[in-house]
Structure 1
């Protein structure tokens, strides 16, 4: 720590802190590829990535000198929600048409979970314990609000972040999902005519998700708030053509009682309205090569050239979440949904499509993505905050084995 200066942690004040916070964000890269670095821009709203959560807080670390001069040198964001951590078998099954027999079903076991994101420390003030102080202060807020578990996500190559949380804050590596990224081309993506895509109402989407996905790890109890949010562009169901159409949609209950042999579902979140990204440090040759692909693709769209969007200027993204499906054609139907979302991203002026799935999810292979842009292993670390919690029916979640899938909350991406 600098001589005669102390670090004070306090709550973010939107009336005076935005310029300083934005300056630190601009100077802190969030990822890198070779000689290129990825930077984020929160569009003038530092709490935009957490404000849609049920409960949230942003803290800043302020360096105070003898003459009372103050300088913000770091910040951290956190949010709290209730999610599924395990499941149990019950007799409370649902009844379908012409079926008055209750059948056993799996029911979710939930816990109060906190998520830490957006930890930034000014490059000129690192390795002075500021990040650790911010994490500890945030954890105290979690504990006061009855949180049992806290988790973070970081790139496997981000050694300083991993060391901070695993070696100094007692977090353990928990899950390693994959972040899959596909560029948005200048041409529209075609998908098979034998596929019907239906946009569901938020109400039908909620009921379908709760019925089929509520036992998935990290499934948020307030899924209705997510689906009703203005940033949610819609939930889309893909089925084989001939099953039914948008006009003959029978409703969620009838669909679940007698679904097609194969189907797939996903929701789309508009991150472009929250933040933009920008890749810096690319050589002139890389920029020209990328531009050439866009020129050819735009001039000759029927060639379907896999063009590279202009990611060297601020660009937005659409996030695909709530991915699921069933049946032998589930993969091809999911691929059709990705094509539909690509065209949606193109219409919204976004540069890339992104999703995050468990590494063992069978649908992962059906999701188009570029390996060079994607992250094969996003490390999620978790910590049980308070020792007074009894193990209950789930035991210690931090020691549980991963399932085939996880539910990634778009508010935290």
Structure 2
């Protein structure tokens, strides 16, 4: 007797009936591994919470058909408008780090795929491909010209799935992670770090970073989101802006020679991470560093936070700046973010392009920093293109990318 063919139905996620089953699929699938030690993610709230901060989003589930139905796969997606390049006038200047005020961004609508999960017992059955194809159909319905996704360089299965259905490797940013110590980190004396309101941050971002690849046109919504903790602006100590903040317009009219900016996103409001499989020796060693740091904070011991229970992370996004000392200003921003995160998060992270000029100002621990990401992109429909940049999938990488925190 022949075995009955398994029928899979892909449909939209229903929060009332699918929540527990979708959560189970997420729990079973690991975020990343390194030997016997694994990094796991636990979503907080409804499984759709990871994408509900986006302007348009959808979650799909793959369900077996028959008397006993089982959810065996999930996928999440969002659609937004981002910058895919810049258009410069014939005569125009430029900055040393980001595009100057004359750089006009070219926008396109893109669909982003994240959270593709298939139960191990149902892999290699084409379920992942079905989920991707249905999500791409929704992207097309929303008018998206491109679809993209992110995975790690070592995830051969994911890369094989997406490259096999038309995606090409596009950008390779790096994830930089640093623990939050018990003690404060001193901000360089050469810099002053200002906390600026979202409205001023929006003006600076639109004037200086709007042409950066993947810059979201709705940056105002990102900055106004409750998970966006603060925007930090570092300037040279003693300059006019450091003494008195007069607003973004005044700052941009006469900016200091060097400056840097970044905003902070509380990832702990959406998900928590946990390192599992670490030996008792490693746990004890980490606990010893924390105890010593609490007892003698003046020694500034590089203590390891408790990463072996669910912990939150803060993410720096919108990293940008200009001038010869911009990397030093970026380091000052990062240190202030670290100090603000004490007691609220266990790590501070950022994701930057391989060629990011400010990268050397962002500290990281290699043991915590994940493998480099691979962003893959696919052009969905030729008729959506206005010809401004041609085919974005074949464009030359710029020095920087804008990583939207809503897509973490």
Instruction: Find the counterpart in structure 2 of residue 190 from structure 1.
Output: 186
Aligned to 1:372: 367
Q: Give yes or no for the alignment of 1:71 onto 2:59.
A: no
Residues 263 and 325, structure 1, Cα contact 8 Å, conserved in 2: yes
Aligned residues: 401
* Alignment of 1:293 onto 2:289: yes
Say if 1:388 and 1:266 are closer, same or farther in 2 by CA, change over 3 A.
same
Ranges in structure 2 where 5+ consecutive residues have no aligned partner = 94-99
What per-residue deviation string (whole Å, max 9, x for no partner) do you get for residues 338-364 of structure 1?
11111111132x111110000001111
* DSSP 3-state at the match of 2:70: strand
Map of 1:97 onto structure 2 = none
Query: Residue 383 of structure 2 aligns to a residue in which SS?
Result: coil
Q: How does 1:39-78 map to 2 (within 5 A)?
A: 39-65=40-66, 68-78=67-77
Partner of 1:388: 383
Relative to structure 1, the CA distance from residue 200 to residue 192 in structure 2 (aligned partners, 3 Å threshold; closer, same or farther) is same
1:38 corresponds in structure 2 to 39
The equivalent residue for 1:269 is 265
Distance 1:261 1:2, change over 3 A: farther
TM-superposed deviation, 1:187: 1.3
Task: State the 1:153 CA deviation.
Answer: 0.3
Q: Take 1:390 and 1:75, find their aligned partners in 2: how far apart are those partners?
A: 30
| Alpha carbons of structure 1 residues 46 and 208: separation in structure 2 relative to 1, 3 Å | same
Partner of 2:148: 151
SS of alignment partner, residue 294 of structure 1: helix
Please state how far the C-alpha of 1:15 moved relative to its aligned partner: 0.6
| 1:130 matches 2:127 | yes
Superposed, which structure 2 residues align to 1:155-166 within 5 Å? 155-166=152-163
Structure 1: runs of 5 or more not aligned: 95-102
Residue 262 (structure 1) shift: 1.1
* Cα RMSD, aligned residues only: 1.9
Residue pair 2:258, 2:321 contacting (<8 A) in 1 also? yes
Is 2:331 the partner of 1:335?
Answer: yes
Range with bigger deviation, 289-298 or 268-277 = 289-298
**Alpha-carbon shift at residue 299 of structure 1 (Å):** 1.4
Shift of 1:139: 0.4
Q: In 2, Cα distance between the equivalents of 1:208 and 1:93? A: 19
How many angstroms apart in 2 are the aligned matches of 1:16 and 1:247? Answer: 56
**Contact 2:62/2:127, CA 8 A, preserved across alignment:** yes
TM-score normalised by the chain length of structure 1? 0.93
Measure the CA separation in 2 of the matches of 1:346 and 1:211: 32
Q: Distance in 1 between matches of 2:363 and 2:237?
A: 22
Local SS of the residue matching 2:175: strand
- Contact 1:93 1:104 (8 Å CA) reproduced: no
Partner of 1:315, secondary structure, is coil
Say if 2:6 and 2:64, in contact at 8 Å, map to a contact too.
Answer: yes
Give CA deviations for 1:207-233 in whole Å, capped at 9, x if unaligned. Answer: 110000111111100000001111111
- Distance in 2, matches of 1:43 and 1:73, equals 20
CA distance in 2, matches of 1:156, 1:246: 42
Note the 1:4-403 alignment, pairs <5 A.
Answer: 4-65=5-66, 68-90=67-89, 105-167=102-164, 169-244=165-240, 248-348=244-344, 350-375=345-370, 377-390=372-385, 392-403=387-398
Contact map agreement 1:361 1:405 (CA 8 A) in 2: yes
Contact between 1:73 and 1:125, CA under 8 Å: does it hold in 2?
Answer: yes
Per-residue CA deviation, residues 98-117 of structure 1 (Å, 9 max, x unaligned), is xxxxx982211110011000
Distance 2:367 2:260 in 1: 26
Structure 1 Cα separation of the partners of residues 359 and 35 of structure 2: 25
